């Protein structure tokens, strides 16, 4: 049997503007993960069991653009495995789908790693990341590549589209509370809507994306030098710009305000938006209390994570 797993991720700064070449910061979230087991089988075919998404099917009965099928087809093509093997592939994930925690990228990366080791077809992190980016492009239109990069390397990333991976230093550990609205919203739609805005007035949106890029740069400095007050203010500023991009939502805004009222140093929505998750920078001793406050304000779930 072969096993592999990959963590979730959360974007700290710069979502959406990152699609337009501005920097963004993201971290892995190891409290949630996707796990893949592969077994050789006597039953003919490649059987996929992913009960979280209610999938129990033989590969060839799935549309070829199905997110999981496309990973397997592309891997078999790349590795030239022949004849086609009989396999049982079990996929499970604790990462909520369509909520900004990188569930799609994590399943792709874990599955590719498991296939690569099962077939003794070595792939470096760089190979896995490039492969996962191609898969993201099939399903998300114009992804920046931030999700697959953070999930593959499983470390904090200062990301600029098309540039070599750069990590960032965390001067002093800090604590983030992640609050889930429980609303699932496809990133493809919010990314498409921001593109329409950009197409309608490029100078205006380029300058907003510049502002977001500057916030991400300053945030990196604040993280490196441990200036949490400043980092919190930068989160609030980034959230306002995401509201302008129309990608926040009443549920996200409610949780962001609730975090501020409960003593967070700053808060913002995270990821594609319209639903999914928000994050709050919190004093460590207030993390549990702020997390409870978010649940009272309507969060479906919260995760407390330390970035170090």
Q: Which spans of this chain sit near ligand PMV (rule: CB under 6 A)?
A: 11, 15-16, 18-19, 100, 102, 143-144, 146-147, 187, 191, 271-272, 276
Minimum distance between the CB of residue 182 and ligand PMV, rounded to whole angstroms? 15
Residue 159: count of CB within 10 angstroms of its CB = 26
Q: Over the range 187-206, which residues count as b (16 or more CB within 10 Å of their CB) and which as e?
A: beebbebbbebbeeeeeebe
Q: Are 205 and 197 in contact (CB under 8 A)?
A: yes
Minimum distance between the CB of residue 161 and ligand PMV, rounded to whole angstroms? 8
Which of 267, 269, 276 lies closest to 245 in space, CA to CA? Answer: 269
16 Cβ neighbours under 8 A, 6+ residues apart: 190, 191, 194, 209, 212, 242, 245, 247, 272, 273
Q: Which residue is nearest to ligand PMV (CB)?
A: 271
**Sign of the dihedral through C-alpha 193, 195, 196, 201:** positive
Residue 216: count of CB within 10 angstroms of its CB = 25
**HSE of 209 in the Cβ direction (CA atoms, 13 Å)?**
20
Instruction: Find the radius of gyration of the CA atoms of the chain.
Output: 20
Identify the active-site residue in 49, 52, 65, 147: 147
- Judged by beta carbon, residue 11 or residue 62, the one nearer ligand PMV is 11
The tokens describing 241, both together, are 């710009």
Report how far apart the first and last C-alpha atoms of the chain are (Å, whole number): 34
Minimum distance between the CB of residue 143 and ligand PMV, rounded to whole angstroms? 4
Minimum distance between the CB of residue 121 and ligand PMV, rounded to whole angstroms? 27
Q: Are 98 and 276 in contact (CB under 8 A)?
A: yes
**Angle subtended at Cα 14 by Cα 286 and Cα 4, rounded to the nearest 5 degrees:** 80
- Judged by beta carbon, residue 18 or residue 87, the one nearer ligand PMV is 18
Minimum distance between the CB of residue 66 and ligand PMV, rounded to whole angstroms? 19
Minimum distance between the CB of residue 271 and ligand PMV, rounded to whole angstroms? 3
Minimum distance between the CB of residue 10 and ligand PMV, rounded to whole angstroms? 8
- Judged by beta carbon, residue 19 or residue 231, the one nearer ligand PMV is 19
- Judged by beta carbon, residue 14 or residue 37, the one nearer ligand PMV is 14
The full DSSP string for 213-275 is HHHHHHHHHHHHHT-HHHHHHHHHHHHHHHHHTT---HHHHHHHHHHHHTT-SEEEE-TT-SS
- Judged by beta carbon, residue 29 or residue 69, the one nearer ligand PMV is 29
- Judged by beta carbon, residue 20 or residue 75, the one nearer ligand PMV is 20
* Cα(136)–Cα(7) distance, integer angstroms: 16
125: annotated active-site residue: no
Report the catalytic residues: 147
């Amino acid at each position: 049997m072969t096993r592999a797993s990959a963590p979730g991720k959360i974007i700290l700064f710069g979502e959406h503007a990152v699609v337009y070449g501005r920097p963004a910061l993201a971290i892995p979230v190891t409290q949630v993960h996707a796990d893949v087991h592969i077994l050789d089988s006597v039953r003919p075919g490649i059987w996929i069991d992913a009960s979280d998404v209610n999938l129990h099917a033989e590969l060839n009965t799935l549309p070829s653009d199905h997110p999981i099928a496309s990973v397997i087809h592309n891997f078999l093509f790349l590795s030239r495995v022949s004849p086609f093997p009989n396999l049982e592939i079990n996929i499970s994930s604790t990462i909520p789908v369509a909520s900004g925690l990188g569930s799609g990228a994590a399943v792709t990366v874990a599955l590719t790693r498991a296939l690569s080791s099962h077939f003794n077809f070595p792939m470096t992190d760089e190979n896995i990341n490039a492969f996962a980016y191609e898969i993201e492009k099939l399903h998300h239109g114009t992804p920046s590549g931030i999700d697959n990069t953070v999930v593959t390397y499983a470390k904090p990333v200062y990301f600029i589209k098309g540039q070599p991976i750069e990590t960032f230093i965390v001067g002093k550990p800090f604590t983030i509370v992640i609050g889930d609205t429980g609303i699932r919203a496809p990133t493809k739609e919010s990314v498409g809507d921001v593109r329409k805005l950009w197409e309608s007035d490029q100078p205006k949106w380029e300058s907003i994306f510049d502002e977001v890029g500057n916030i991400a740069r300053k945030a990196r400095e604040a993280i490196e030098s441990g200036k949490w007050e400043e980092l919190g203010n930068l989160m609030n500023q980034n959230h306002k710009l995401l509201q302008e991009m129309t990608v926040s939502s009443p549920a996200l805004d409610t949780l962001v305000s609730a975090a501020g009222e409960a003593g967070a140093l700053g808060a913002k929505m995270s990821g594609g938006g319209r639903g999914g998750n928000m994050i709050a920078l919190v004093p460590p001793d207030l993390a549990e209390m702020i997390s409870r406050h978010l649940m009272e304000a309507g969060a479906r779930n919260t995760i407390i994570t330390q970035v170090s």
